[in-house]
Structure 1
Amino acid sequence: MKSHAFAGSIALGIALMAMTGCTSSNTDLGCVTDQECKGERICGAAGRCVYPSGGGGNNDNNTVADAGADTTSDASTPGDTGGSDERDAIALDTGGDVPTADVAQDAPATDPDAADPGDADPSDADPIDADRPDTDPTACPTAQILTRLQGQTTWQTGDVSALPLQTIEFDATASGHVTAHEWTITARPQGSTQRLLPSNTVAQPRLFLDLAGTYDIDLTVTNHDAPSACTSSASVTITATPSDDVQISLTWDTPADSDQTDNFGTDLDVHYLHPNGRWDDPPWDLFWRNPDPNWADQNLDTDDPSLDIDDTDGAGPEHVSHSNLEQLRYRVGAYYYSDNTLDQSFATVRIYLQGTLAYEDANKEMPRTGSFWDAAIIDATDPTNMQVTPVDNIYAGFPNNTP
């Protein structure tokens, strides 16, 4: 558990509801006691690490999202016995509205931080009958997938374009008379650990898009009430594309950790360095202790980076987003904060420039606690032609060199 004092103002792209306490019922949401949280954060009422009201900066209601764990089983992710829930976000009221088969395409949400609060369960929506293609209980179903971004009210058919850190809701109730649903994630970005919640066997699950990339989702519906049990299948592809000028993701794999989705594991930290600064030294190094620095125009926040997700006990991801960069050269690194006696981890850094993957270095060995990977330089001196240059050096501790 991290014990550094917090420095820097707290504001970021993923907002959580203000929290006050913590009970034993929160074990599947990321924390149970204050000791499991970094720095000055405490374990909030929803089981997430938050800053106490009145502390940790000028915005008391905003926190760094701390990835938690989920104990819901999900056959769509073989081998997962735990799994992290949606990484944290604004609490939204889905309204319990019921989808219909006649849908229109909504414009994608513009807020990349609109993720699932974890308490709205679309499977509780009332079933529809009149709009189903066939409600004869003995008829074979026809699989139909409807989707929407959480927070929207209109459902759509077809493939989906979204932003990383958004949540997609699915609906299969327009498929006819169904006695069994099975959803399967058949493809996902490397390093993604999210699962369909509350399970992959409900009519209306949801999925948090923890990384940029493509997610393929299959649905199989079965009617066991037909004279001869019959099935039908459908699929949908979700493409999560960053909208920020720069997005950085850090994921990692720890071979000695038998379950990288529970509440115990290794802790790596992403670092994003301004050329004025030194590693591990706020305010010019962005990391968990300095998640939302004010780097450029002191009167604007649209030109500042933010740490969107901080994971302390597993495989990541950690996210940094930054738009409207100064015409400078920035550095990207990763620090092995704690191996928790699990030995080496293998880190992957991806850097997206204006929505396109510009750099990926996968499975870099981080030998032990205290290892630092100086990964790459982002050259924004020409904002119309930003470039990434690999550095790829491993140090025993912070090298304190600058771009």
Structure 2
Amino acid sequence: MGSPGINIAALSVAIRILAVLLCGGCDTQLRPTTERDTRDAVGDQGVELETFDKDQADTVTPTDTSDLLFAADSTETSDVPLATDLSDGEVPNTCPVAVGGLRNLSEAVDVDTPPTHLDMEFGRVELLGARSYDEDGDSIAEQKWTVTQHPGRVPPSVEQVSARGPSEIGIYMLGSYELELTVVDEHGLSSCNTAGVTVTSTATAGLVVELTWETPGDPDETDDDGADVDLHLLRPGGMIWNLQGARDDCFFYDRSPDWGVLGVATDNPKYHVDDFDGAGPEVITIEQPALTTGEEGYLIGVNFRVNNHFALVFPSVRVYSNGEAIGIVGEKGGIALQRGEVWIAGELFWTENGPLFVTSDVPQITDGFPVP
């Protein structure tokens, strides 16, 4: 018997059609196969897709193309760092973000979002950085606050309780303050930004007396080693300086004696801050001073109490009423004090027409407190 003849052309067409069915309508270049492509493949045989049995196509197992790798010239990008951007399998560390806030400790009000600006008179302010964060999830290991603008000659000290916790600063001079916060993550990387906060100190009190001083022999007036100079305010008609309990002198040992009308707080002085190792300030205020009568007014005294091995200080006194300066004495080194000396900076009379600040052309300096 002769071998059955094999139609090579028909077999070739069948193989091509089977490839089309298995590939799901794609050629080897992963582009759609059209009817034109099929005609080109079969040539003169003139076979069309519609001539094949559809039941046969249903028996073909579909090919899973989910793992196919497409051409490398794709224009799509990814946020995931390339392997070449990593070091030993670690994700690069990014800068933490500093977020600052403020709290007036005299008000003792906690808020979810602390403000970045405060208007206040005098007192202590808490510097908050707990809302700072690191997008890597790293912890914030340190908060660093810096005073960038302040009234007066020497910046106020920032007192840091702990590296990770809040800090505090005393606001005791009238004017504007600016501070900046930088944070450091657990790997020692500092924030790329600084968070700024501001404080404006204004006073509506009838009387504000402010003392500052310069110590030429002190190389760092912001540290804990400095001269101790004290501010005193003697009531009209008062006789006794520097004695606790005498109620005549408002100073660091008697901070709010009852003057004027007994039981009325607005005419009493208030001693706000005692600086015993720096350049000041020390501040005394009276909301509404009592009217002075006759020739006796409020006497302002300055005592160089403890020198701490510094021989000479140059004090300066500013007097304000309702936020306006009414007297400045001792500026630019005009007054020099040695240890134990007392300078009567001036006398303030409170009249129906307002305050009157009187100073002497010749500095009144005595060795120890004078007897009025």
**When the two structures are superposed, what TM-score results if normalisation uses the length of structure 1?**
0.55
Evaluate the alpha carbon distance shift between residue 340 and residue 291 of structure 1 in structure 2; reply closer, same or farther with a 3 A threshold: same
How far the C-alpha of 1:238 sits from its partner, in A, is: 0.8
1:240 and 2:201 matched: yes
Does residue 159 of structure 1 match 2:117? yes
CA distance in 2 between counterparts of 1:347 and 1:165 reads: 22
CA contact (8 A) 1:192 1:211 kept: no
Output the CA distance in 2 between the equivalents of 1:272 and 1:229: 47
Question: Residue in 2 aligned with 1:18?
Answer: none
Are positions 1:351 and 2:333 aligned together?
no
Give yes or no for the alignment of 1:217 onto 2:168.
no
Residue matched to 1:274: 235
Alpha-carbon distance between aligned partners in 1 of 2:283 and 2:181, rounded to the nearest angstrom = 30
Report how far residue 290 of structure 1 moved: 4.1
1:29-70 deviation digits (Å, cap 9, x = unpaired): xxxxxxxxxxxxxxxxxxxxxxxxxxxxxxxxxxxxxxxxxx
Q: Decide whether the 8 Å contact of 1:270 with 1:335 is kept in 2.
A: yes
State how far apart, in whole Å, the 1-side matches of 2:190 and 2:257 are: 59
Instruction: Give the helix-richer structure, 1 or 2.
Output: 2
Task: Give the letter for the 2:288 counterpart.
Answer: N
Q: Secondary structure at the residue paired with 1:173?
A: coil
Q: Does 1:320 align with 2:284?
A: yes
CA displacement 1:127-182 (0-9 Å, x = unmatched): xxxxxxxxx99666554322222321113334221231222332252455376654
Identity %, equivalent residues: 25
The letter of the residue matching 1:209 is: I
Tell me the equivalent position of 2:128.
170
Deviations 1:351-374 (A, max 9, x none): 232233433333443331232222
1: distance between equivalents of 2:214 and 2:327?
19
Q: Superposition pairs for residues 381-392 of structure 1, below 5 Å?
A: 381-382=351-352, 385-391=354-360
Structure 2 residue corresponding to 1:293, chosen from 239, 257, 269:
257
Q: Structure 1 residues 377 and 344, CA, compared in 2 at 3 Å: closer, same or farther? A: same
CA RMSD, Structure 1 to Structure 2 (Å): 3.6
Match of residue 160, structure 2, among 178, 189, 197: 197
Query: For 1:158-207, what per-residue CA distance to the aligned partner results, in whole angstroms no more than 9, with x for missing partners?
Result: 422123122233225245537665432111222444214136x6464332
Residue 113 (structure 1) aligns with: none
Distance apart, 1:312 and its partner CA? 3.6
Equivalenced residues, count = 264
- The structure number with the bigger radius of gyration is 2
Question: Match for 1:144: what amino acid?
Answer: V
Partner Cα separation in structure 2 for residue 256 and residue 137 of structure 1: 49
The 2-side partners of 1:367 and 1:354 are apart by 30
1:186 matched residue in structure 2: 148
| Aligned partner (choices 212, 216, 220) of residue 251 of structure 1 | 212
Please name the residue that 1:148 is paired with.
103
What is the CA-CA distance between 1:217 and the residue it aligns to? 0.6
Shift of residue 240, structure 1, vs aligned partner: 1.9
Structure 1 CA distance for aligned equivalents of residues 257 and 115 of structure 2: 40
Contact 1:224–1:230 at 8 Å: present in 2 too? no
Task: Tell whether the 8 Å contact from 1:278 to 1:400 is kept in structure 2 after alignment.
Answer: no
For residue 370 of structure 1, the aligned residue among 321, 325, 340 is 340
User: Any conservation in 1 of the 2:124–2:168 contact (CA below 8 Å)?
Assistant: no
Q: Give deviations 1:234-255, integer Å, cap 9, x for gaps.
A: 3121112234322222222222
Q: Which one-letter code corresponds to 1:322 in the other structure?
A: I
Instruction: Determine the C-alpha separation between the residues in 2 that align with 1:286 and 1:163.
Output: 19
Q: 1:289 Cα shift?
A: 4.8
Asked whether the equivalents of residues 342 and 367 of structure 2 are also in contact (C-alpha less than 8 Å), the reply is yes
Q: Can you give the 5+ residue segments of structure 1 that lack an aligned partner in the other structure?
A: 1-135
- Of the three residues 248, 265, 270, the one matched with 1:284 is 248
| Partner in structure 1 of residue 81 of structure 2 | none
Note if contact 1:352-1:359 (Cα within 8 Å) is conserved in structure 2. yes
Q: Which one scores higher on RCO, CA 8 angstroms, separation ≥ 6?
A: 1
- Give the residue type in structure 2 aligned to 1:342: F
For residues 307 and 290 of structure 2, what CA distance do their matches in structure 1 show?
35
Residue segments in structure 2 that go unaligned for 5+ positions in a row: 1-90
